[in-house]
Amino acid sequence: MTSFARLLTLLVLLLASLPGLAAAPPAGKPLTVYFFDVGQGDAALVVSPTGKTVLIDGGPPEAREHLARRLRALVKEPLDLVILTHPHLDHLGGLTQALKAVGAKRFMDPGFDHPSDAYKELLDFVGGTVGQVMNPEPNPKAPQTLLTIGLGEGASLTVLWPRVPQEPFLDNTRSDPNSNSIVAKLTYGTTAFLFTGDAEPETEAALLQKRIDFSSTVLKVAHHGGRHSSTAAFLAAVNPKAAVISCGAGNDYGHPTLEALERLEVAGAHVFRTDQDGEVVAVSDGTTVTVRPERGAAPRVVPGGVKPGPVALGPIVPTPQRSRASTRGGGTTPPERPADGTLTDARGGAVEQRFVSLKGSKVFHREDCATLKRSKSERTVYPSRSAAMRERRPAEDCHP
Ligand SMILES: [Zn+2]
Ligand SMILES: [Zn+2]
């Protein structure tokens, strides 16, 4: 058993017993999601019917005091799970303070290597303070299923993306860190919440090709209501009754955009915005969701509208990747990679592969990894994998 499989088993055991995937009818105990008012960024807390807590993102640095205060008020024990959807500052800036305030038992992020000091510092802090650190890998014994984490009373959180190592991270997208955000569906009875991080249209398109039930009562709108995400096709599949946009008043990005707001309106979703409504609290009784904005509008009760049952509607197979040859410099197809990790040239002969590490990073990459191309940091080149392994560990994006 790999150490990851062990971790996964432990996680599922510790968080809850999964009472089969067709959830038992909920006993009416509430499941609550707090969408915190953290300005331009994301931070949401899930409190399950049995009191399990999951923090999804930690807002921007400016909101760290506010987030820590809210968590101290709402969480009495260390968080059961912290999910960082992706390594951008508006999602991780308040996490260290949050962890100092209430602690956490487990931490999950996409494992997408990102050369920023803030992300490296967070990983160092998490490594020293949180018991388990993991990436959302599908169960190696059932790679065509979705990773599902039980939260008690039939509530569960299912990770839809990313699916490394079954599928590579999306690359050459508008923003690869955004595109590989953890996308997760929280289900309880006939209600569901979809968390999308800063997913891009490429993420939505890749997911739509999979046999997944996306339908959700409440959608945490991708990328703060940016114009490219929340495509009409994706919104049609999710069919949200309510949508929450987490953004700062008068932010520099023009979030939320008119385009995204219009598509949400066409999709029939009632939109809540943290910049106008303050904190938005959504309470599910397993049948309906009551959404309460902190200020302004009146609470709104929406029907769950989600079929209970598994989120995966069949085997989850890798999405065929669009051809990227034309978007890569030089216009050549990257060489195929045989199982042993060596590269071969067009005639199948072995090519010497070197490995590269960025200054200050604990990981090493394949020399052709896209992460390296984006970074201007100083680099160390290793002539062989074994030489690199002596000093660093393999990066999660290119799996050298
Ligand atoms: Zn963001
Ligand atoms: Zn982002």
Token pair belonging to 27:
């006993």
Count, in order, helices (H) and strands (E) of the chain: 12, 22
- Residues 218, 281: one domain? yes
Is 335 a domain residue?
Answer: no
Is 313 a domain residue?
Answer: no
- Residues 221, 366: one domain? no
Q: How far apart are CA 294 and CA 193, in angstroms?
A: 19
Contact by Cβ (8 Å): 119, 92: yes
pLDDT classification of 27: cutoffs 50, 70, 90: low
* Residue at which a domain ends, from 303, 334, 351: 303
pLDDT classification of 10: cutoffs 50, 70, 90: very low
Is 387 a domain residue?
Answer: yes
Q: Looking at residue 49, what is its pLDDT?
A: 97
Is 9 a domain residue?
Answer: no
Q: Which ligand is nearest to the CA of 86?
A: 2
Q: What is the dihedral of CA 192, 97, 175, 166, to 10 degrees?
A: -60
- Find the domain containing 282 and state its range: 23-303
Secondary structure letter of residue 104 according to DSSP: B
Is 181 a domain residue?
Answer: yes
Structure-model confidence comparison of residues 11 and 279, the more confident one: 279
Å from CA of 147 to ligand 1 middle: 24
Contact by Cβ (8 Å): 311, 187: yes
Q: Which ligand is nearest to the CA of 91?
A: 1
- Residues 353, 287: one domain? no
Is 212 a domain residue?
Answer: yes
Å from CA of 334 to ligand 1 middle: 31
Q: Classify burial at 84, counting beta carbons within 10 Å of its beta carbon; exposed 0-12, middle 13-18, buried 19 or more.
A: buried
Q: How far apart are CA 8 and CA 134, in angstroms?
A: 8
- Residues 239, 377: one domain? no
Residue 331 predicted with pLDDT over 90: no
For residue range 131-164, list pLDDT tens digits in order: 899 999 999 999 999 999 999 999 999 999 999 9
For residue range 182-206, list pLDDT tens digits in order: 999 999 999 999 999 999 999 999 9
Count of domains in the chain?
2
- Residues 241, 389: one domain? no
Contact by Cβ (8 Å): 190, 157: no
Q: Looking at residue 17, what is its pLDDT?
A: 42
Å from CA of 86 to ligand 2 middle: 7
- The whole-number average pLDDT for the span 310-328 is 74
Among candidate residues 349, 333, 353, 332, the one with its CA nearest the CA of residue 341 = 353
- Residues 260, 351: one domain? no
- Residues 200, 250: one domain? yes
